[in-house]
């Protein structure tokens, strides 16, 4: 049963993530209530949830605003994710995997490998790889035996993480993207090996490196200097999210 609150939450979240609502824009209960033709009550609930997710922030007396996000924010989110995923990997290695977990991880790796081994990849191979990648990380997070890790991660940095998805694949040639993916895949294999050997420290170290790599390797492969310039500690400089998927992120 799709409740009205969930509907509002999903729609507004998609609007924000898609860029239909720009950073800095005001959002109010009455606004979304009128927009989606619902009462103010579910609108209020949804806005509260959005604030908990970090997508919007509350101004004192004047509604909510779409949170502006800077490259520095993305870096911070990645660092938090890295240590949390590292803990998840270590915990999973120390506790051992269940057969189902092992099946899921092996499946993800097999799919990634198949995609990367294809000589003439279809145009959507990046999307398929991202799916396999998501399975790998989500499986480790959610089945590591410490549900608080996943719980902490869910509540944090939904927006920076999404921005990251559009960020990493911009301004690179297809060949470079393929290289990036290959490197990432190799790290998955190494992490899997550490998990199977119950080597918690190695699993943790590699996972942290792998998670941080999402941004670092992207910078390594960016041809011009924009990435580095954008990396400079300038929290005030907003990194606008592209409104159409692969937009002008990391400008």
Q: Give residues in contact with a copy of itself (CB under 8 A).
A: 45, 48, 52, 54, 73, 76-77, 79-80, 83-84, 86-87, 91, 146-149, 151-153, 155-157
Binding partner at 60 among DNA, a copy of itself, none, C-beta below 5 to 8 Å by kind: DNA
Q: Is 1 in the site for DNA (CB under 7 A)?
A: yes
Q: Is 30 in the site for DNA (CB under 7 A)?
A: yes
Query: With the C-alpha atoms ordered 57, 59, 64, 65, is the resulting torsion angle positive or negative?
Result: negative
Neighbouring CB atoms inside 10 A of 103's CB total 12
Spatial separation of the C-alpha atoms in residues 66 and 20, rounded to whole Å: 11
For 28-32, which contacts have Cβ atoms below 8 Å and span 24 or more sequence positions?
Answer: 28/63, 28/64, 29/63, 31/63, 32/8
Contact yes or no for 92/143 (Cβ under 8 A) = yes
Binding partner at 79 among DNA, a copy of itself, none, C-beta below 5 to 8 Å by kind: a copy of itself
Rounded least distance, CB 206 to DNA, Å: 41
Rounded least distance, CB 152 to a copy of itself, Å: 5
Query: What does DSSP say about strands 26-27 and 56-58: parallel, antiparallel, or unpaired?
Result: unpaired
Site string for DNA, 46-85 (x = CB under 7 A): ------------x-xxxxx---------------------
Spatial separation of the C-alpha atoms in residues 36 and 201, rounded to whole Å: 50
Spatial separation of the C-alpha atoms in residues 47 and 5, rounded to whole Å: 10
Q: Is 42 in the site for DNA (CB under 7 A)?
A: yes
Q: Closest CB to a copy of itself among 84 and 195?
A: 84
Q: Closest CB to a copy of itself among 64 and 169?
A: 64
- Judged by CB under 7 A, which stretch of 39-47, 128-136, 159-167, 241-249 contacts DNA? 39-47
Contact yes or no for 153/202 (Cβ under 8 A) = no
Q: How many CA atoms lie within 13 A of 45 on its CB side?
A: 12
Positions in 194-223 near DNA (CB under 7 A): none
Binding interface with DNA (CB under 7 A)? 1, 3-7, 26, 28-31, 38-42, 44-45, 58, 60-64
């Amino acid at each position: 049963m799709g409740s009205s609150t969930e509907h509002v939450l999903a729609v507004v979240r998609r609007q924000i993530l898609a860029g239909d609502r720009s950073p800095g824009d005001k959002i109010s209960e009455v606004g979304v209530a009128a927009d989606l033709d619902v009462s103010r009550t579910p609108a209020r609930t949804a806005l509260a949830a959005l604030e908990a997710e970090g997508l919007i922030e509350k101004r004192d007396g004047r509604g909510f605003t779409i949170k502006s996000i800077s490259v520095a924010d993305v870096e911070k989110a990645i660092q938090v994710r890295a240590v949390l995923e590292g803990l998840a990997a270590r915990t999973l290695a120390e506790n051992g995997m269940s057969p189902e977990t092992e099946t899921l991880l092996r499946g993800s790796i097999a799919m990634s490998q198949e995609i990367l081994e294809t000589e003439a990849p279809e145009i959507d191979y990046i999307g398929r790889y991202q799916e396999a990648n998501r399975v790998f990380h989500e499986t480790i997070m959610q089945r590591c035996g410490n549900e608080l890790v996943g719980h902490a991660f869910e509540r944090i940095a939904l927006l920076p993480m999404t921005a990251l998805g559009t960020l990493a694949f911009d301004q690179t040639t297809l060949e470079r993207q393929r290289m990036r993916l290959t490197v990432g895949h190799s790290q998955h294999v190494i992490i899997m090996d550490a998990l199977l050997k119950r080597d918690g420290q190695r699993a943790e170290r590699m996972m942290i490196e792998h998670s941080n790599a999402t941004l670092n390797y992207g910078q390594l492969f960016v041809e011009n200097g924009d990435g580095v310039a954008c990396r400079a500690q300038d929290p005030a400089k907003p990194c606008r999210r592209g409104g159409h998927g692969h937009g002008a992120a990391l400008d």
